[in-house]
Amino acid sequence: MKQAYVGVAILFLVGLLTSGMFLLLSHLASAYRPTKVKAMPYESGINPLGDTRERYSVKFYIVAMLFIVFDIETIFFIPWAVIFRDLGLFGLIEMFIFIFVLGVGLAYAWKKGALEWD
């Protein structure tokens, strides 16, 4: 089974080469006449106002944190789902408890307003 990874390695190589080739090809073939105005960030034609890297809504951080929690929970589902028919009633009840805890977490985040966008 380990030799199957040869395919992955070859595919990665082909994928990287394709990306590199595209970059190189356009870099070599394209015209290059930079001007000061061209190199400005695009803001619908007016001069850029202020810096981009300012503070932004905290909601995006919250989504990222919730994602980490719930995505890791999802990873726990996968091995359980694969063998759950061999585990029988024990596996079923265990996972019910797990989903219940997960649900409490979601309900808490919901109640706290972490999922609200306006």
In the complex, minimum distance from the CB of residue 22 to another protein, in angstroms, rounded to a whole number? 5
- For 80, list phi and psi in degrees, rounded to 5: -65, -45
In the complex, minimum distance from the CB of residue 80 to another protein, in angstroms, rounded to a whole number? 8
Interatomic CA distance for residues 66 and 113, integer angstroms? 12
Interatomic CA distance for residues 54 and 57, integer angstroms? 10
* Residue that has been written with the tokens 């979601």 in this structure: 106
Token output for 48: 């850029």
In the complex, minimum distance from the CB of residue 62 to another protein, in angstroms, rounded to a whole number? 10
Q: Which residues bind another protein (CB under 8 A)?
A: 1, 3-8, 10-12, 14-16, 18-20, 22-23, 25-27, 29-34, 36, 38-44, 48, 52-53, 56, 59-60, 63-64, 66-67, 70-71, 74-75, 77-78, 81-85, 88-89, 92, 95-96, 99, 102-103, 106, 110, 115-118
Token output for 81: 């789902």
* Residue that has been written with the tokens 């808490």 in this structure: 108
